[in-house]
Chains A and B, each alone.
Chain A
Amino acid sequence: QVQLKESGPGLVQPSQTLSLTCTVSGFSLTSYHVHWVRQPPGKGLEWMGVMWSDGDTSYNSALKSRLSISRDTSKSQVFLKMSSLQTEDTATYYCARGSVVTSNWFAYWGQGTLVTVSS
């Protein structure tokens, strides 16, 4: 079945770069787009960006200067890197996938990984 699982460091120091991995199973990254969404504690959801199935990427304009999404299709992994972290980047980070027919809505989500930015 379709599964997505986020992994990465739970704690990152301010000004450092965050690196997260989304490992997927049950589908191919060359057939489906994978999104990153984050949620600060007690706050709402923010779409961050997408790795399209063709390998292209699109980003939230508010994060574009700091964000990079890449992938390794042989390992079924999508990577997120975000630089110049500040305390306001403390959040649960999710990866998500669209339905069978479209990426317009997110039918599948990972459990999320909490990242705390603190010295």
Chain B
Amino acid sequence: DIVLTQSPALAVSLGQRATISCKTNQNVDYYGNSYMHWYQQKPGQQPKLLIYLASNLASGIPARFSGRGSGTDFTLTIDPVEADDTATYYCQQSRNLWTFGGGTKLELK
């Protein structure tokens, strides 16, 4: 199984940059694509797709969100952070079935 590791929490100030990392124990690249995706989840809500294939912005997601990475190391960046961005962020791989990271809770300083 592919295991995804995220830091549990991150605190940033409004207007600053937030960088959330996700590391995998196996390469999730395949034929030029990185099968890594990112979701945002707010309390009491279902997850919402933000980024697919490591760096592609999902429909309706503001350009403040971006993703990058390949192989086993990936990051989600929010710049600048707004108050509404406080949530938990999950990475997910689909290279070999599907697994999620443990989530990173983004809080404001």
Partner-B contacts on A (CB < 8 A): 35, 37, 44-47, 50, 58, 60-61, 94, 99, 103-107, 109-112
Partner pick for A47 among B58, B99, B102, CB 8 A cutoff: B99
Point out the residues of chain A lying under 8 angstroms from B101, CB to CB. 44
By CB atoms of chain A within 10 A, which of B46, B94, B100 has the most? B46
A58 touches B49 (CB 8 A): no
B 41-78 binary contact with A (CB < 8 Å = 1; else 0) = 10000111100110000100000000000000000000
User: How many of chain B's residues have a CB under 8 angstroms from any CB in A?
Assistant: 22
Q: What's the nearest-Cβ distance from chain A to residue B90, in Å?
A: 6
- Knowing A104-B35, A104-B37, A105-B94 are in contact, say whether A47-B46 is a contact too (CB < 8 A): no
Q: In whole angstroms, how far apart are the Cα atoms of A37 and B97 in the complex?
A: 13
Point out the residues of chain B lying under 8 angstroms from A46, CB to CB. 100
- Knowing A46-B100, A58-B97, A61-B1 are in contact, say whether A107-B58 is a contact too (CB < 8 A): yes
17 A/B residue pairs, CB under 8 Å, sorted by A: A44-B102, A45-B90, A45-B103, A47-B92, A47-B99, A61-B1, A94-B46, A104-B53, A105-B37, A105-B52, A105-B94, A106-B37, A106-B39, A106-B49, A107-B49, A109-B47, A112-B46
Q: In whole angstroms, how far apart are the Cα atoms of A108 and B101 in the complex?
A: 19
Point out the residues of chain B lying under 8 angstroms from A106, CB to CB. 37, 39, 47, 49, 92
- Knowing A45-B47, A104-B35 are in contact, say whether A99-B52 is a contact too (CB < 8 A): yes
Q: What's the nearest-Cβ distance from chain A to residue B104, in Å?
A: 10
Quick one: closest B residue to A107, CB to CB? B49
